[in-house]
Homo-oligomer: A and B are copies of this chain.
Amino acid sequence: MKISARNVLKGKVVSVEKGATTAHVKIEIAPGQVVTAAITNESVDALKLTPGSEAYAVVKASDVMVAVD
């Protein structure tokens, strides 16, 4: 499957924390740069996400903001 989302960042899962319905998955996409995703527990199971597994952080361009110092 090829998706329209402009941002598909390859990395490695560093942690998976399931909540009651929402899980937080952390993916290291570059040395020292970790992205946090809040997804459903259901998705964690469907994608079999565990620490160490390869994964992509995917973000739609309209969900990216820009900041400056």
Question: Which A residues have a C-beta under 8 Å from some C-beta of B?
Answer: 1-9, 17-25, 27, 29-30, 33, 35-40, 42-44, 46-49, 53-69
Collect the chain B residues with CB atoms within 8 Å of residue A20's CB. 19-22
Number of copies: 6
Having A3-B58, A38-B62, A40-B61, one finds 15 other A-B pairs with CB under 8 Å, namely A1-B1, A2-B67, A2-B69, A4-B37, A4-B39, A4-B40, A4-B46, A6-B42, A20-B21, A20-B22, A21-B38, A29-B33, A39-B64, A48-B68, A60-B62
Establish whether residues B33 and A66, one from each chain, have CB atoms under 8 Å apart when the complex forms.
no
Chain B residues in 8 Å Cβ range of A46: 2, 4
